[in-house]
Protein backbone atom coordinates (compact mmCIF):
# COMPACT_ATOMS: atom_id res chain seq x y z
CA UNK A 1 0.00 0.00 0.00
CA UNK A 2 1.41 3.39 -1.00
CA UNK A 3 -0.32 6.22 0.81
CA UNK A 4 -0.83 9.51 -0.93
CA UNK A 5 0.40 12.56 1.00
CA UNK A 6 -3.01 14.22 0.91
CA UNK A 7 -6.66 13.22 1.06
CA UNK A 8 -9.75 15.33 1.43
CA UNK A 9 -10.91 13.18 4.34
CA UNK A 10 -9.24 10.60 6.57
CA UNK A 11 -11.56 8.28 8.51
CA UNK A 12 -10.23 6.34 11.52
CA UNK A 13 -12.00 3.00 12.07
CA UNK A 14 -13.87 0.73 9.63
CA UNK A 15 -16.97 0.02 11.72
CA UNK A 16 -20.44 1.01 10.51
CA UNK A 17 -19.90 4.63 11.61
CA UNK A 18 -16.61 5.00 9.76
CA UNK A 19 -17.88 3.29 6.61
CA UNK A 20 -20.97 5.51 6.43
CA UNK A 21 -18.87 8.64 7.00
CA UNK A 22 -16.50 7.52 4.21
CA UNK A 23 -19.42 6.82 1.88
CA UNK A 24 -20.75 10.37 2.31
CA UNK A 25 -17.35 12.07 2.27
CA UNK A 26 -16.51 10.32 -1.01
CA UNK A 27 -18.97 12.68 -2.69
CA UNK A 28 -16.62 15.56 -1.84
CA UNK A 29 -13.34 13.94 -2.90
CA UNK A 30 -10.69 11.43 -1.92
CA UNK A 31 -11.03 9.45 1.30
CA UNK A 32 -8.58 7.28 3.22
CA UNK A 33 -10.26 4.83 5.63
CA UNK A 34 -7.74 3.30 8.02
CA UNK A 35 -8.40 0.45 10.41
CA UNK A 36 -6.04 -0.87 13.09
CA UNK A 37 -7.35 -4.46 12.84
CA UNK A 38 -6.83 -6.74 9.84
CA UNK A 39 -9.61 -6.48 7.25
CA UNK A 40 -12.23 -7.92 7.20
CA UNK A 41 -12.37 -7.03 10.85
CA UNK A 42 -13.95 -9.11 13.60
CA UNK A 43 -16.13 -7.11 15.96
CA UNK A 44 -17.54 -8.91 19.00
CA UNK A 45 -21.28 -8.35 18.66
CA UNK A 46 -24.69 -10.00 19.01
CA UNK A 47 -25.34 -9.21 15.34
CA UNK A 48 -28.90 -8.12 16.07
CA UNK A 49 -30.11 -5.46 13.63
CA UNK A 50 -33.08 -3.59 15.05
CA UNK A 51 -35.81 -2.08 12.92
CA UNK A 52 -34.09 1.33 12.70
CA UNK A 53 -30.91 -0.29 11.36
CA UNK A 54 -32.91 -2.41 8.91
CA UNK A 55 -34.84 0.66 7.73
CA UNK A 56 -31.63 2.66 7.29
CA UNK A 57 -29.95 -0.12 5.31
CA UNK A 58 -33.07 -0.57 3.18
CA UNK A 59 -32.45 2.96 1.86
CA UNK A 60 -28.80 2.18 1.00
CA UNK A 61 -28.72 -1.26 -0.64
CA UNK A 62 -30.50 -4.63 -0.41
CA UNK A 63 -28.98 -6.75 2.36
CA UNK A 64 -27.49 -10.00 1.03
CA UNK A 65 -29.38 -12.98 2.46
CA UNK A 66 -26.09 -14.92 2.84
CA UNK A 67 -25.19 -12.93 5.97
CA UNK A 68 -28.47 -13.80 7.73
CA UNK A 69 -28.36 -16.65 10.25
CA UNK A 70 -31.06 -19.03 11.39
CA UNK A 71 -33.58 -18.04 12.75
CA UNK A 72 -33.78 -15.07 10.43
CA UNK A 73 -35.85 -12.92 12.80
CA UNK A 74 -36.07 -13.00 16.57
CA UNK A 75 -38.24 -11.03 18.96
CA UNK A 76 -36.79 -9.35 22.02
CA UNK A 77 -37.93 -10.96 25.28
CA UNK A 78 -37.48 -9.53 28.76
CA UNK A 79 -36.50 -12.30 31.22
CA UNK A 80 -36.45 -12.05 35.02
CA UNK A 81 -34.38 -15.20 35.55
CA UNK A 82 -34.84 -15.52 39.30
CA UNK A 83 -38.63 -15.31 39.16
CA UNK A 84 -39.02 -17.23 35.90
CA UNK A 85 -40.84 -14.31 34.26
CA UNK A 86 -40.66 -14.02 30.46
CA UNK A 87 -42.26 -11.14 28.57
CA UNK A 88 -42.01 -11.30 24.78
CA UNK A 89 -42.13 -7.94 23.03
CA UNK A 90 -42.99 -6.71 19.54
CA UNK A 91 -39.36 -5.66 18.90
CA UNK A 92 -38.10 -7.70 15.97
CA UNK A 93 -34.43 -8.12 15.05
CA UNK A 94 -32.68 -9.42 11.96
CA UNK A 95 -30.12 -12.05 13.01
CA UNK A 96 -26.87 -11.51 11.07
CA UNK A 97 -23.24 -12.60 11.12
CA UNK A 98 -21.47 -9.43 12.21
CA UNK A 99 -18.19 -10.06 10.35
CA UNK A 100 -20.05 -10.61 7.07
CA UNK A 101 -22.24 -7.59 7.74
CA UNK A 102 -19.23 -5.30 8.29
CA UNK A 103 -17.49 -6.69 5.21
CA UNK A 104 -20.59 -6.06 3.10
CA UNK A 105 -20.74 -2.44 4.31
CA UNK A 106 -17.14 -1.90 3.19
CA UNK A 107 -18.01 -3.37 -0.22
CA UNK A 108 -20.44 -0.48 -0.76
CA UNK A 109 -17.62 2.08 -0.83
CA UNK A 110 -16.76 3.69 -4.17
CA UNK A 111 -13.30 3.61 -5.80
CA UNK A 112 -12.18 6.98 -4.44
CA UNK A 113 -12.16 5.52 -0.90
CA UNK A 114 -8.92 3.69 -0.09
CA UNK A 115 -9.40 1.15 2.70
CA UNK A 116 -6.31 -0.03 4.59
CA UNK A 117 -6.26 -2.57 7.43
CA UNK A 118 -3.49 -3.00 10.00
CA UNK A 119 -3.00 0.76 9.86
CA UNK A 120 -3.59 2.41 13.24
CA UNK A 121 -3.67 6.17 13.53
CA UNK A 122 -1.07 7.03 16.16
CA UNK A 123 -1.67 10.77 16.44
CA UNK A 124 -2.87 13.94 14.71
CA UNK A 125 -2.58 17.70 14.90
CA UNK A 126 -4.88 20.41 13.63
CA UNK A 127 -3.53 23.57 12.08
CA UNK A 128 -5.07 26.38 10.04
CA UNK A 129 -4.93 24.41 6.79
CA UNK A 130 -6.43 21.15 8.06
CA UNK A 131 -5.21 18.10 9.93
CA UNK A 132 -1.89 16.23 9.86
CA UNK A 133 -2.42 12.56 10.67
CA UNK A 134 0.18 9.92 11.59
CA UNK A 135 -0.66 6.42 10.37
CA UNK A 136 1.49 3.40 11.20
CA UNK A 137 1.63 0.72 8.53
CA UNK A 138 4.16 -2.04 7.90
CA UNK A 139 6.75 -0.64 10.32
CA UNK A 140 6.63 2.89 8.89
CA UNK A 141 4.81 5.94 10.13
CA UNK A 142 3.18 7.94 7.32
CA UNK A 143 2.38 11.63 7.73
CA UNK A 144 -0.79 12.43 5.81
CA UNK A 145 -2.60 15.73 5.38
CA UNK A 146 -6.35 16.06 5.09
CA UNK A 147 -9.04 18.74 5.17
CA UNK A 148 -11.10 16.85 7.75
CA UNK A 149 -10.52 13.90 10.04
CA UNK A 150 -13.35 11.61 11.20
CA UNK A 151 -12.87 9.72 14.47
CA UNK A 152 -14.86 6.48 14.13
CA UNK A 153 -12.55 4.53 16.40
CA UNK A 154 -15.12 3.11 18.75
CA UNK A 155 -15.63 2.92 22.50
CA UNK A 156 -11.96 3.53 23.40
CA UNK A 157 -11.55 6.37 20.93
CA UNK A 158 -8.04 7.81 20.95
CA UNK A 159 -9.18 10.54 18.52
CA UNK A 160 -11.67 11.75 21.13
CA UNK A 161 -9.06 11.68 23.89
CA UNK A 162 -6.55 13.58 21.75
CA UNK A 163 -9.19 16.25 21.09
CA UNK A 164 -9.41 16.72 24.86
CA UNK A 165 -13.07 15.76 24.91
CA UNK A 166 -12.61 13.25 27.73
CA UNK A 167 -13.39 9.58 27.51
CA UNK A 168 -16.52 7.67 28.42
CA UNK A 169 -16.15 4.62 30.65
CA UNK A 170 -16.80 1.18 29.19
CA UNK A 171 -18.81 -1.89 30.06
CA UNK A 172 -16.83 -5.13 29.93
CA UNK A 173 -18.49 -7.63 27.60
CA UNK A 174 -17.98 -11.36 27.16
CA UNK A 175 -19.60 -13.46 24.50
CA UNK A 176 -19.67 -17.29 24.39
CA UNK A 177 -20.49 -19.19 21.21
CA UNK A 178 -21.94 -22.49 22.43
CA UNK A 179 -22.51 -25.62 20.40
CA UNK A 180 -26.25 -26.26 20.22
CA UNK A 181 -27.35 -29.52 21.78
CA UNK A 182 -31.06 -29.06 21.27
CA UNK A 183 -33.28 -26.15 20.40
CA UNK A 184 -33.23 -22.68 21.84
CA UNK A 185 -36.47 -20.76 21.57
CA UNK A 186 -36.31 -18.23 18.70
CA UNK A 187 -36.01 -15.18 20.96
CA UNK A 188 -33.42 -12.55 21.70
CA UNK A 189 -33.62 -13.02 25.47
CA UNK A 190 -32.39 -10.21 27.68
CA UNK A 191 -31.79 -11.74 31.09
CA UNK A 192 -31.62 -10.08 34.50
CA UNK A 193 -30.47 -12.15 37.48
CA UNK A 194 -29.20 -11.38 40.96
CA UNK A 195 -26.72 -14.20 41.69
CA UNK A 196 -23.71 -12.68 39.91
CA UNK A 197 -23.67 -9.53 42.06
CA UNK A 198 -23.50 -5.77 41.56
CA UNK A 199 -20.96 -5.97 38.72
CA UNK A 200 -23.51 -7.68 36.49
CA UNK A 201 -25.76 -5.67 34.17
CA UNK A 202 -27.47 -8.34 32.02
CA UNK A 203 -26.97 -11.25 29.65
CA UNK A 204 -28.49 -12.05 26.30
CA UNK A 205 -29.10 -15.43 24.72
CA UNK A 206 -29.94 -15.91 21.06
CA UNK A 207 -29.74 -18.83 18.63
CA UNK A 208 -27.41 -18.05 15.72
CA UNK A 209 -26.98 -20.68 13.02
CA UNK A 210 -25.64 -23.81 14.72
CA UNK A 211 -24.69 -21.87 17.86
CA UNK A 212 -26.23 -20.47 20.96
CA UNK A 213 -24.79 -17.02 21.52
CA UNK A 214 -24.56 -15.93 25.16
CA UNK A 215 -23.31 -12.42 25.83
CA UNK A 216 -22.96 -10.76 29.21
CA UNK A 217 -22.47 -7.14 30.06
CA UNK A 218 -20.56 -6.22 33.23
CA UNK A 219 -20.19 -2.76 34.71
CA UNK A 220 -16.90 -0.85 34.24
CA UNK A 221 -13.93 -2.04 36.31
CA UNK A 222 -15.42 -5.49 36.95
CA UNK A 223 -12.67 -7.68 38.39
CA UNK A 224 -12.10 -11.19 36.96
CA UNK A 225 -14.87 -10.95 34.33
CA UNK A 226 -14.04 -14.40 32.90
CA UNK A 227 -14.83 -15.98 36.28
CA UNK A 228 -18.13 -14.06 36.37
CA UNK A 229 -18.93 -15.27 32.87
CA UNK A 230 -18.15 -18.88 33.86
CA UNK A 231 -20.55 -18.47 36.78
CA UNK A 232 -23.21 -16.92 34.51
CA UNK A 233 -22.84 -19.74 31.98
CA UNK A 234 -23.19 -22.36 34.71
CA UNK A 235 -26.44 -20.81 35.94
CA UNK A 236 -27.86 -20.47 32.42
CA UNK A 237 -26.91 -24.03 31.39
CA UNK A 238 -28.80 -25.48 34.36
CA UNK A 239 -32.08 -24.37 32.76
CA UNK A 240 -31.03 -24.19 29.12
CA UNK A 241 -29.56 -27.65 28.34
CA UNK A 242 -29.43 -26.75 24.63
CA UNK A 243 -26.36 -24.61 25.46
CA UNK A 244 -23.52 -27.06 24.86
CA UNK A 245 -19.80 -26.46 25.31
CA UNK A 246 -18.31 -23.05 24.58
CA UNK A 247 -16.35 -23.22 21.32
CA UNK A 248 -15.26 -19.58 21.32
CA UNK A 249 -15.26 -16.78 23.87
CA UNK A 250 -14.75 -13.12 22.94
CA UNK A 251 -13.92 -10.28 25.32
CA UNK A 252 -14.65 -6.70 24.34
CA UNK A 253 -16.00 -3.37 25.62
CA UNK A 254 -19.08 -1.28 24.97
CA UNK A 255 -19.75 2.35 25.73
CA UNK A 256 -21.19 3.07 29.18
CA UNK A 257 -23.08 6.28 28.33
CA UNK A 258 -24.15 8.04 31.52
CA UNK A 259 -24.80 11.68 30.67
CA UNK A 260 -26.05 13.74 27.75
CA UNK A 261 -22.62 15.44 27.77
CA UNK A 262 -21.03 12.10 26.78
CA UNK A 263 -22.30 12.87 23.26
CA UNK A 264 -19.70 15.01 21.49
CA UNK A 265 -19.70 16.06 17.81
CA UNK A 266 -16.00 16.92 17.57
CA UNK A 267 -13.79 19.99 17.45
CA UNK A 268 -12.42 22.18 14.65
CA UNK A 269 -11.89 20.04 11.56
CA UNK A 270 -12.37 16.73 13.44
CA UNK A 271 -15.76 15.00 13.61
CA UNK A 272 -16.58 12.14 16.01
CA UNK A 273 -19.06 9.46 14.92
CA UNK A 274 -20.48 6.22 16.32
CA UNK A 275 -19.31 5.13 19.76
CA UNK A 276 -16.34 7.52 19.53
CA UNK A 277 -18.85 10.38 19.69
CA UNK A 278 -20.93 8.74 22.45
CA UNK A 279 -23.63 7.49 20.06
CA UNK A 280 -25.17 4.36 21.50
CA UNK A 281 -28.38 3.48 23.27
CA UNK A 282 -27.68 3.76 27.01
CA UNK A 283 -30.68 1.55 27.79
CA UNK A 284 -30.51 -1.30 25.27
CA UNK A 285 -26.81 -1.42 24.27
CA UNK A 286 -27.90 -1.16 20.64
CA UNK A 287 -25.23 0.69 18.71
CA UNK A 288 -25.39 -0.24 15.04
CA UNK A 289 -28.24 2.09 14.05
CA UNK A 290 -26.58 4.94 16.00
CA UNK A 291 -23.27 4.27 14.23
CA UNK A 292 -24.94 4.16 10.80
CA UNK A 293 -26.95 7.33 11.37
CA UNK A 294 -24.21 9.43 12.95
CA UNK A 295 -21.69 8.24 10.33
CA UNK A 296 -24.05 9.15 7.51
CA UNK A 297 -24.77 12.56 9.07
CA UNK A 298 -21.02 13.28 9.20
CA UNK A 299 -20.56 12.12 5.60
CA UNK A 300 -23.35 14.39 4.41
CA UNK A 301 -21.97 17.35 6.36
CA UNK A 302 -18.55 16.80 4.75
CA UNK A 303 -20.04 16.42 1.28
CA UNK A 304 -22.21 19.51 1.48
CA UNK A 305 -20.09 22.04 3.39
CA UNK A 306 -16.65 23.59 3.39
CA UNK A 307 -14.06 21.93 5.65
CA UNK A 308 -14.47 24.73 8.20
CA UNK A 309 -18.27 24.54 8.23
CA UNK A 310 -18.68 20.75 8.26
CA UNK A 311 -18.61 20.38 12.05
CA UNK A 312 -21.36 22.96 12.63
CA UNK A 313 -23.53 21.28 9.98
CA UNK A 314 -22.87 17.86 11.53
CA UNK A 315 -23.65 19.13 15.04
CA UNK A 316 -26.99 20.50 13.86
CA UNK A 317 -27.97 17.30 12.06
CA UNK A 318 -27.21 14.99 15.00
CA UNK A 319 -29.27 17.04 17.44
CA UNK A 320 -32.26 14.62 17.20
CA UNK A 321 -29.95 11.64 17.94
CA UNK A 322 -28.44 13.47 20.92
CA UNK A 323 -31.94 14.25 22.23
CA UNK A 324 -32.98 10.61 21.73
CA UNK A 325 -30.02 9.52 23.91
CA UNK A 326 -30.85 12.17 26.55
CA UNK A 327 -34.46 10.88 26.70
CA UNK A 328 -33.29 7.28 27.14
CA UNK A 329 -30.91 8.33 29.91
CA UNK A 330 -33.92 9.38 31.99
CA UNK A 331 -35.04 5.72 32.10
CA UNK A 332 -31.72 4.39 33.35
CA UNK A 333 -32.16 4.89 37.12
CA UNK A 334 -35.43 2.94 36.94
CA UNK A 335 -34.05 0.18 34.72
CA UNK A 336 -30.90 -0.35 36.77
CA UNK A 337 -32.48 -0.32 40.21
CA UNK A 338 -33.52 -3.58 41.85
CA UNK A 339 -37.00 -2.13 42.50
CA UNK A 340 -37.31 -1.19 38.82
CA UNK A 341 -36.46 -4.72 37.73
CA UNK A 342 -38.80 -6.12 40.38
CA UNK A 343 -41.71 -3.90 39.29
CA UNK A 344 -41.17 -4.74 35.61
CA UNK A 345 -42.20 -8.30 36.49
CA UNK A 346 -45.69 -7.07 37.41
CA UNK A 347 -46.20 -4.82 34.38
CA UNK A 348 -48.54 -6.40 31.79
CA UNK A 349 -46.67 -7.82 28.80
CA UNK A 350 -48.19 -5.41 26.20
CA UNK A 351 -46.97 -2.45 28.27
CA UNK A 352 -43.46 -3.94 28.64
CA UNK A 353 -43.51 -4.43 24.87
CA UNK A 354 -44.57 -0.82 24.23
CA UNK A 355 -41.99 0.65 26.63
CA UNK A 356 -39.20 -1.55 25.22
CA UNK A 357 -39.89 -0.26 21.73
CA UNK A 358 -38.95 3.23 22.93
CA UNK A 359 -35.71 2.06 24.53
Please choose, out of 42-50, 73-81, 233-241, 315-323, the segment that lies near ligand FAD by the rule CB under 6 A.
42-50
Among 32, 34, 297, 303, the residue binding ligand FAD under the rule CB under 6 A is 34
| Whether the Cβ atoms of residue 91 and residue 353 lie closer than 8 Å to each other | yes
Please choose, out of 12-20, 67-75, 233-241, 309-317, the segment that lies near ligand FAD by the rule CB under 6 A.
12-20
Please choose, out of 39-47, 64-72, 137-145, 348-356, the segment that lies near ligand FAD by the rule CB under 6 A.
39-47
The reply to whether 144 sits near ligand FAD by the rule CB under 6 A is: no
Among 215, 266, 282, 299, the residue binding ligand FAD under the rule CB under 6 A is 215
Q: Binders of ligand FAD: how many residues, by CB under 6 A? A: 38
Please choose, out of 40-48, 192-200, 232-240, 336-344, the segment that lies near ligand FAD by the rule CB under 6 A.
40-48
| Whether the Cβ atoms of residue 209 and residue 69 lie closer than 8 Å to each other | yes
| Nearest approach, Cβ of residue 276 and ligand FAD (Å) | 6
Among 8, 114, 147, 153, the residue binding ligand FAD under the rule CB under 6 A is 153
Q: Which is nearer to ligand FAD, 158 or 201 (CB)?
A: 158
The reply to whether 89 sits near ligand FAD by the rule CB under 6 A is: no
78-117 as b/e, with b when 16 or more CB fall inside 10 Å? bbbbeeeeebbbebebbbbbbebbbebbbeebeeebbbbb
Please calculate the CA angle 324-330-332 and round it to the nearest 5 degrees. Answer: 110
Please choose, out of 45-53, 65-73, 237-245, 336-344, the segment that lies near ligand FAD by the rule CB under 6 A.
45-53
Assign 3-class secondary structure to the chain. Answer: CCCCCEEEEEEECCCHHHHHHHHHHCCCCCEEEECCCCCCCCCCCCCEECHHHHHHHHHHCCCCHHHEEEEEEEEEEEEECCCCEEEEEEEEEEEECHHHHHHHHHHCCCCCEEEECCCCEEEEEEECCEEEEEEEECCEEEEEEEEEEEECCCCCCHHHHHHCCCCCCEEEEEEEEEEECCCCCCEEEEEECCCCCCCEEEEEEEEECCEEEEEEEECCCCCCHHHHHHHHHHHHHHHCCCEEEEEEEEEEEEECCCCHHHCCCEECCEEECHHHHCCCCCCCCCCHHHHHHHHHHHHHHHHHCCCCCHHHHHHHHCHHHHHHHHHHHCCHHHHHCHHHHHHHCCCCHHHHHHHHHCC
- Based on C-alpha coordinates, what's the Rg of the chain? 21
Contacts with ligand FAD in 54-83 (CB under 6 A)? none
Q: Which is nearer to ligand FAD, 95 or 353 (CB)?
A: 95
Q: Which is nearer to ligand FAD, 121 or 233 (CB)?
A: 121
The reply to whether 300 sits near ligand FAD by the rule CB under 6 A is: no
Please choose, out of 6-14, 70-78, 177-185, 240-248, the segment that lies near ligand FAD by the rule CB under 6 A.
6-14
Q: Which is nearer to ligand FAD, 13 or 307 (CB)?
A: 13
Q: Which is nearer to ligand FAD, 45 or 233 (CB)?
A: 45
Among 11, 12, 31, 184, the residue binding ligand FAD under the rule CB under 6 A is 12
Output the residue with the shortest Cβ distance to ligand FAD.
287
Site string for ligand FAD, 259-298 (x = CB under 6 A): ---------------xxx---x----xxxx--x-------
Among 3, 9, 15, 28, the residue binding ligand FAD under the rule CB under 6 A is 15
Q: Which is nearer to ligand FAD, 315 or 345 (CB)?
A: 315
Give the span between the Cα atoms of 207 and 183, in whole angstroms.
8
The reply to whether 254 sits near ligand FAD by the rule CB under 6 A is: yes
Residues that bind ligand FAD (CB under 6 A): 12-18, 34-37, 41, 43-48, 120-121, 152-154, 158, 173, 175, 215, 252, 254, 274-276, 280, 285-288, 291
Amino acid sequence: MVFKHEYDTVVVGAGPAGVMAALGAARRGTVLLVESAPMPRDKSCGGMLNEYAQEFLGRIAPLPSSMVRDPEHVHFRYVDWDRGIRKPTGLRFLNVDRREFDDWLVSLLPDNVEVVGLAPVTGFEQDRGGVRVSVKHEDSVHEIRCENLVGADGARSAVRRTLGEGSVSNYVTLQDFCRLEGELEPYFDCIYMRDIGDCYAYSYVVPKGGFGLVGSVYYPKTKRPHEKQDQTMEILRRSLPALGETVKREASVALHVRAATDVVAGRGRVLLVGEAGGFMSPTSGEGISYALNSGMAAGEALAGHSPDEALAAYRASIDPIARNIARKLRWLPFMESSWGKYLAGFVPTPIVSKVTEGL
